[in-house]
Structure 1
């Protein structure tokens, strides 16, 4: 067996991995080899097989090989059958480049402690809903999450906390959030992404959001529903999210939103070949799947069965 190529964890994350994720350092290599052997035999899956990528699934599934295999299969299955979120993710594409500059989804650079979850600031109102679609914006957000899965040990081991700032969200934004698309997003996050979501904190709630909020909850499992928090003001959120971890615009200490966007724009561009490869080299071939092949209808149901969300 070759030496494993996995980034060492800091002592805080190492303790969490041991106590919460069932990580046993002397068995990591054995588990990685088991996944690679399974992937060789799973002819319908064309997957990345580097150690750092695969260990994300082991950690996200608390080292259950069976769950890890199912999640990897679903990861590539959904990425194949939801092309509007995964295909055509070239950072040099004009529209994609414009959306990156909005900074709709920004990982915040400082965690509360060396072993704390990663904070993600999500600002849906940052893009013009009359010029861009929620699918186009979420496609860029999947690019950010792909990078975090590779680079961010805090997110992989300790999870992620979302801060959803709904300032400047308009009726045009809300009507784009329709049941068929929400189901796809929920499946991607809950069934295929090996990241533990530790909470969603909503601020600056606009009029008319209640119907959208209820729609989002309808596709969430009970655990995720219990981790949704609506705050009437920033002071309420700061009781659980330290103010200092927020950008300057929120009276925090981690720099301006503009500086965070510039940093992530450079990082996303540095991953250009990765995203091109994701579109062209990886996914599933349903013709080679043993058993019943999957398709959008079997995965998501017929889109026509979802009633369009009508906002007052």
Structure 2
């Protein structure tokens, strides 16, 4: 799941408007259960937040958490120690209050479900998978970026 989010952000960053304007992320926590919580360790929480705060190639404008329950509080307590000041400033908890969400984001950019007026059709998850496969060659190239380790041939002899 984490890799899929990373890839989706890489796809979004191919769009010049996203590069200039940045992004708002809506985390809809409806349906979050203890089974999901057990998938997160403190190490994974730190890995995710380090990536978001230090590596994600995007201008993060806001993280809007909606429909969170007491179960989310357990997960949030795991992430909270790793939050940097920048993330804390753009993190907003809305619960089921869509009015506070539309105060932060234009109603014209949100679907009716989120309290907005945008006429955006719902797409099946398979369409997202198709999009990921469409950009497969770009992902392979993206995975070559960063620090390279020396191969055995390049390592100095002792």
Give the TM-score range, shorter chain. 0.7 to 0.9
2:18 is matched with 155
**Higher-Rg member (1/2):** 1
Q: TM-score, normalised by structure 2?
A: 0.78
1:56 is matched with none
2:154 is matched with none
2:148 counterpart of 1:275: no
Superposed displacement of residue 170, structure 1: 0.9
Task: Give the 3-state SS of the residue equivalent to 1:239 in structure 2.
Answer: helix
> Is contact 1:162–1:201 with CA below 8 Å preserved after alignment?
yes
> Is contact 1:160–1:199 with CA below 8 Å preserved after alignment?
yes
1:184 is matched with 47
Task: Give the 3-state SS of the residue equivalent to 1:216 in structure 2.
Answer: helix
Q: How many residues align?
A: 149
2:155 is matched with none
Q: Could you tell me which of 114, 119, 122 is aligned with 1:254?
A: 119
Gaps of 5+ in 2: 152-158
User: In 2, Cα distance between the equivalents of 1:245 and 1:262?
Assistant: 23
Task: Give the 3-state SS of the residue equivalent to 2:150 in structure 1.
Answer: helix
The CA RMSD measured in Å over matched residues stands at: 2.4
1:241 is matched with 105
User: In 1, Cα distance between the equivalents of 2:20 and 2:93?
Assistant: 26
Q: TM-score, normalised by structure 1?
A: 0.43
The more displaced of 218-227 and 270-279 is 270-279
Gaps of 5+ in 1: 1-136, 289-312
Which whole-Å deviations, capped at 9, do the CAs of 1:32-90 have from their partners, x for residues lacking one?
xxxxxxxxxxxxxxxxxxxxxxxxxxxxxxxxxxxxxxxxxxxxxxxxxxxxxxxxxxx
User: In 1, Cα distance between the equivalents of 2:126 and 2:90?
Assistant: 31
2:60 is matched with 197
> Is contact 1:160–1:198 with CA below 8 Å preserved after alignment?
yes
Q: 1 or 2 for the larger relative contact order (CA 8 Å, sep ≥6)?
A: 1
